[in-house]
Amino acid sequence: MKNEDSVFYNKKFINCGGRLISLETPLVMGVINVTPDSFYDGGKYSSDKDILDSVGEMIEEGVAIIDVGAYSTRPKASDISIEEEKQRLLPAIKLIKSHYPDAIISADTFRSSVASDSINEGAMIINDISGGTMDEKMFETIAHYNVPYIMMHIQGTPQNMQDNPLYNDIVIDIMDYFIPKLDKLKLMGINDIIIDPGFGFGKNLEQNYELLKKLYLFKMLDCPICCGFSRKSMINKVIRTKPSEALNGTTVLNTLALLQGVKILRVHDVKEAIEAIKIVNYYQKA
């Protein structure tokens, strides 16, 4: 059975500021981290020119969403204040929107006030690594602005999530995390919900690959699935690379995810993800 024929998965569009974005062909979300300490691209976007050059290149390559983050969520990353996150994030969103007014921008934040201000500056999607667990007002904020919401699974916080992640059954445990949140969001009138199982966020190497192997099961939740494997340690620990050398490994994992019905790939390297989507689509239609 082809993924697009699944009895479980029906949603084919998300509404971004009145624009219907098709999910029939998987989309690529390009990462812009305006932080000094991200695990791969920390400090890369230290000037307006750096940001605009990268966004322009991503758009040329076919990116659908620009995901802008200002809080490093790598394991053991330092916590920063709300004010500092806003000082980094909001000017970047405003800059991108002023030069690329048609760009669909996602704000990568788990803080409701940062989400609110980001939407007011032009963000159309909120990408929350905490799935609402780190700010009890996040769901209200999403409902108020009626924007698509990427709800990720995390066990713990970025500061402690890799200390000793434990699961009885990783798929069932993550399902149990998502289901009540989905029910609550839908009761609040939020319809454009995307789930992200959170690879690397409170999962060890074996747990990440068990989750990847059973990724297709999350289609039962009837939400588009977003995944971010880009240059992560679950690649580097297996093939003994550094993040800077992990593009090939990233493409392999993206391909495995696409074959299981993933609809959004969050990546640092847009061109290669687009190529993976084209090849998988051709393979599935053959």
φ, ψ at 144 (rounded to 5°) = -65, -45
Contact between 127 and 106 under an 8 Å Cβ cutoff? The reply is: yes
Cβ-contact 54, 268 below 8 angstroms = no
Pairing of the two strands 149-152 and 125-128: parallel
Residue 173 tokens, joined: 């445990």
Would you say 143 and 188 are in contact if contact means Cβ atoms under 8 Å apart?
A: yes
240 counts as catalytic: no
Give the pairing of strands 13-16 and 125-128. Answer: unpaired
Nearest CA among 130, 138, 133, 136 for reference residue 114: 138
88 is a catalytic site residue: no
Q: Is residue 179 within 8 Å of residue 221, measured between CB atoms?
A: yes
Please state the length of the chain. Answer: 286
CA distance 106 to 163: 29
Can you tell me which residue has the tokens 């809080």? Answer: 71
DSSP tally for the chain: helices H, then strands E: 9, 10
Q: For tokens 């800077």, name the residue.
A: 244
Helices in 62-156 by DSSP H: which ranges? 82-99, 112-121, 138-145
> One of 74, 86, 219, 266 is an active-site residue; which one?
266
Selecting among 86, 203, 232, 263, the annotated active-site residue is 232
Contacts of 169 (CB under 8 A, 6+ apart): none
Provide the token pair at 30.
């390009």
Residues serving a catalytic function are 232, 266
